[in-house]
């Protein structure tokens, strides 16, 4: 059992959580720059990147005296050479990163892109190439220029489609000789869960109800995706482009047919985005869902025609955990529409309560491949944990166990015929947690000396998992001890 020789092993990051340099190089502010750290909260349904309008106004007024961690990230902006050298030492063949929309178009509406911003990413891509590391680039990862939030209520407006497509075209034109793997949207499914964090939308400012407003924003993203997939195929025919979904494996709690039916329905909702991006239309079950929940969408002009265009080249997924569903699905949702899974007695949980399930990972890969017959790029998988940093070392055997089991699970799917392009572990260099704004929830193989308050040297250290992954890659996934 071996992985293909050209398998793209690597690590994943996102600008809003990693890049920093928020007020340098002509960058504008984004919605995420106003989000706080929620402290040592161990999960639940409180999200640092979910702000009400009222809270946003408060944070805006008090921004100078607040702890706003997404502005700092973990300083990739100044340390990219050092980080890329560490990735190269680890043997990484690919590096997933995202571009900051507000670094390229600071307010989203400038006539011309910000040359300083474009040049920063040229330098990063050159550095990656000099180490034979293939960039895998997400166009937008939980970021919207704040000016577009204030002016158009983010992705609720069709105007944002136009502006984002212009931004995406700028990226494709500018980097077509350097970037061969694009992801349009990170976890597009979070648009209907955390509207401010994912799409820069204040649902309370909308004329629509909350669900309709979130699905409106999602509709606009799916349109933008289709337009950019088509453009990428025309302008950069050697490149591959996909959209990303945060994928869960979903189990019924019991054999009660109602549990099973709900698990099936929930699983279908979890992949609906791929139905649209691969097949090119809204499936009937989704239109029925809109009817049942009285969700009102203003369909984008010629939307059917636009979606019918080109299909994505690969499915990008994150996989962290599985969920369990009961017959009473509505009570399983928190007020924010987030699925709260009951425990699964067969599975252990992370420090933050996620169900650890490598078997579910194999099932996910096989199901997706059976359903869409498209290659899959696993662009996120990882374990958020408290690390103990002592004498320059972190003995993170729990993380090694997690990744070893997930690599084996992926190998099993590949053996069964699933085409997997690569595997980029989440937060390969420690970065700010999206849901908590914390540093104490770490995923990396490389430790960053920074705490929740932003204090620390920001120096980098190799964890035990660094050496484990180095061996895993060097042996093409055969030496996992
Ligand atoms: C994914 C996101 O949902 O999960 C990342 O794409 C995020 O941005 C990751 O960081 C882990 O979540 P968290 O909340 O633990 O950082």
Q: Is 380 a catalytic residue?
A: yes
Closest by CA position to 106, among listed 146, 139, 160: 146
Residue 134: HSE in the Cβ half-sphere, 13 Å Cα cutoff = 17
The pLDDT, as a whole number, for residue 47 is 74
- CA–CA separation, 327 vs 304, rounded Å? 34
Q: Where are the alpha helices (DSSP H) in 308-391?
A: 358-372
Helix, strand, coil abundance in the chain, percent, nearest 5: 45, 15, 40
- CA separation for the pair 341, 319 (Å, rounded): 16
Q: Is 83 in the pocket of ligand 1 (CB under 6 A)?
A: no
199/155 Cα distance (integer angstroms): 5
Domain count across the chain: 1
434 lines ligand 1 (CB under 6 A): yes
User: Is 3 a member of any domain?
Assistant: no
Look at residue 215 in the predicted model and tell me its pLDDT: 98
The minimum-distance atom of ligand 1 relative to the CA of 436 is 14
43 lines ligand 1 (CB under 6 A): no
Contact 136, 129 (CB under 8 A): no
Place of tokens 């720059």: 33
CB-based contact 1:411 (threshold 8 Å)? yes
> How far, in Å, is the centroid of ligand 1 from the Cα of 434?
5
Do 227 and 300 contact (CB within 8 A), yes or no?
no
CB 215, CB 290: distance < 8 Å: yes
Residue 142 Cα to ligand 1 middle (Å): 10
Using alpha carbons, select from 297, 296, 286, 148 the residue that is nearest to residue 219: 297
Sequence-ordered alpha helix ranges (H) in 145-207: 146-152, 158-175, 195-199
Q: Of 133, 120, 136, 135, whose CA–CA distance to 184 is shortest?
A: 136
Residue 480 forms part of a structural domain? no
- For residue 268, tell me if it sits in a domain: yes
73 Cα–ligand 1 center, Å: 13
Contact residues for 417 (Cβ-Cβ < 8 A; gap 6+): 369
Helix (H) or strand (E) holding 426, with range, is strand 420-426
Distance from the Cα of residue 36 to its chain's centroid:
19
Any domain includes 479: no
Q: How far is the CA of 427 from the centre of ligand 1 (A)?
A: 8
CB 329 within 8 A of CB 252: no
DSSP 415: H
Mean pLDDT by 10 residues, the chain (481 residues): 91 98 98 86 61 93 94 98 98 98 98 98 98 98 98 98 98 98 98 95 97 98 98 98 97 92 93 98 96 96 97 98 83 62 89 92 98 98 97 98 98 97 98 93 97 96 98 96 94
CATH at residue 367: 3.20.20.80
Question: Strand, helix or coil at 348?
Answer: coil
CB atoms inside a 10 Å sphere around CB 129:
13
Residue 34 lies in a domain: yes
Q: Residue 123, SS3?
A: helix
Counting from 1 in the atom list of ligand 1, the atom nearest the Cα of 190 is 3
**262 Cα–ligand 1 center, Å:** 26
Residue 474, C-beta contacts closer than 8 angstroms, at least 6 positions apart: 91
Q: Is residue 457 helix, strand or coil?
A: coil
Mutational pocket test of ligand 1: of 13, 434, 439, the residue with most ligand atoms within 8 Å of the beta carbon: 434
274-296 in b/e burial notation, b at 16+ Cβ within 10 A? Answer: bbbbbebebeeebeebbeeeebe
- Token reading at 320: 């962290």
Q: Is the CB of 187 under 6 A from ligand 1?
A: yes
Exactly one of 50, 134, 156, 187 is catalytic; name it: 187
Query: Number of helices (H) and strands (E), helices first, in the chain?
Result: 15, 10
The C-alpha angle with vertex 80 and arms to 75 and 84, in degrees rounded to 5, equals 130
Instruction: Tell me the best of 15, 377, 380 to mutate to test the pocket of ligand 1, counting ligand atoms within 8 Å of each CB and taking the most.
Output: 380
Asked whether 435 lines ligand 1 (CB < 6 A), one says yes
Q: Is residue 2 part of a domain?
A: no
Alpha-carbon span 295 to 206, nearest angstrom:
13
Measured CA to CA, the distance from residue 432 to residue 420 in angstroms comes to 28
Q: Is residue 481 part of a domain?
A: no
Q: Which helix (H) or strand (E) holds 135?
A: strand 134-140
Place of tokens 């636009």: 306
pTM: 0.97
Gap from CA of 435 to ligand 1 centroid (Å) = 7
CB-count exposure of residue 438 (10 Å: 0-12, 13-18, 19+): buried
Distance separating alpha carbons of residues 425 and 443, to the nearest angstrom:
8
Closest ligand 1 atom to 427 CA: 10
Cβ 384 under 6 angstroms from ligand 1: yes
Closest ligand 1 atom to Cα of 441: 15
Atom of ligand 1 nearest to the CA of 352: 15
Q: Collapsing DSSP states into helix, strand and coil, what is residue 468?
A: helix
Name 232's Cβ contacts closer than 8 Å, sequence gap at least 6: 172, 182, 239, 241
Provide the residue range defining the domain that includes 35: 8-474
């Amino acid at each position: 059992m071996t992985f293909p020789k050209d398998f793209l092993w690597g690590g994943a990051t996102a600008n809003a959580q990693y890049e920093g340099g928020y007020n340098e190089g002509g960058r504008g502010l984004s919605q995420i720059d106003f989000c706080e750290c929620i402290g040592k909260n161990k999960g639940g349904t409180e999200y640092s990147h979910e702000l009400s309008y009222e809270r946003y106004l408060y944070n805006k007024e008090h921004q100078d005296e607040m702890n706003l961690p997404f502005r700092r990230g973990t300083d990739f902006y100044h340390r990219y050479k050092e980080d890329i050298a560490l990735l190269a030492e680890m043997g990484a063949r690919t590096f997933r990163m995202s571009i900051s929309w507000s670094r390229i178009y600071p307010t989203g509406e400038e006539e011309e892109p910000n040359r300083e911003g474009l040049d920063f990413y040229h330098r990063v891509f050159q550095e990656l190439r000099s180490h034979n590391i293939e960039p895998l680039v997400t166009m937008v990862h939980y970021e919207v220029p704040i000016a577009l939030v204030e002016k158009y209520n983010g992705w609720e407006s069709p105007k944002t489609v136009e502006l984002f497509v212009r931004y995406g075209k700028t990226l494709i034109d500018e980097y077509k000789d350097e970037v061969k793997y694009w992801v349009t949207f990170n976890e597009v499914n979070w648009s209907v869960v955390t509207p401010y964090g994912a799409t820069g939308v204040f649902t309370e400012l909308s004329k629509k109800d909350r669900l309709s407003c979130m699905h409106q924003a999602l509709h606009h993203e799916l349109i933008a995706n289709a337009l950019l997939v088509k453009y990428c195929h025309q302008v950069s025919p050697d490149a591959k482009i996909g959209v990303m979904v945060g994928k869960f494996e979903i189990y019924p709690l019991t054999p009660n047919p109602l549990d099973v039916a709900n698990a099936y329905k929930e699983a279908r909702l979890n992949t609906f985005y791929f139905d649209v991006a691969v097949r090119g239309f809204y499936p009937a079950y989704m239109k029925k869902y809109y009817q049942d929940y009285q969700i009102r969408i203003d369909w984008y002009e010629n939307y059917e025609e636009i979606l019918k265009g080109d299909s994505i080249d690969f499915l990008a997924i994150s996989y962290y955990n599985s969920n369990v569903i009961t017959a009473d699905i509505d009570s399983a949702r928190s007020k924010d529409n987030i699925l709260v899974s009951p425990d699964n007695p067969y599975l252990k949980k992370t420090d933050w309560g996620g169900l650890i399930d490598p078997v579910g990972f194999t099932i996910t890969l096989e199901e997706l491949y059976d359903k869409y017959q498209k290659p899959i790029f696993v662009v996120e998988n990882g374990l958020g944990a408290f690390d103990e940093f002592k004498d320059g070392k972190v003995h993170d055997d729990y993380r090694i166990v997690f990744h070893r089991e997930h690599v084996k699970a992926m190998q099993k799917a590949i053996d069964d015929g699933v085409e997997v392009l690569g595997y980029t572990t989440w937060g390969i260099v420690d970065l700010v947690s999206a849901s908590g704004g914390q540093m104490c929830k770490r995923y990396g193989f490389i430790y960053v000396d920074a705490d929740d308050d932003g204090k620390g040297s920001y120096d980098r250290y190799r964890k035990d998992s660094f050496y484990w992954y180095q061996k895993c890659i060097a042996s093409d996934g055969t030496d996992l001890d």
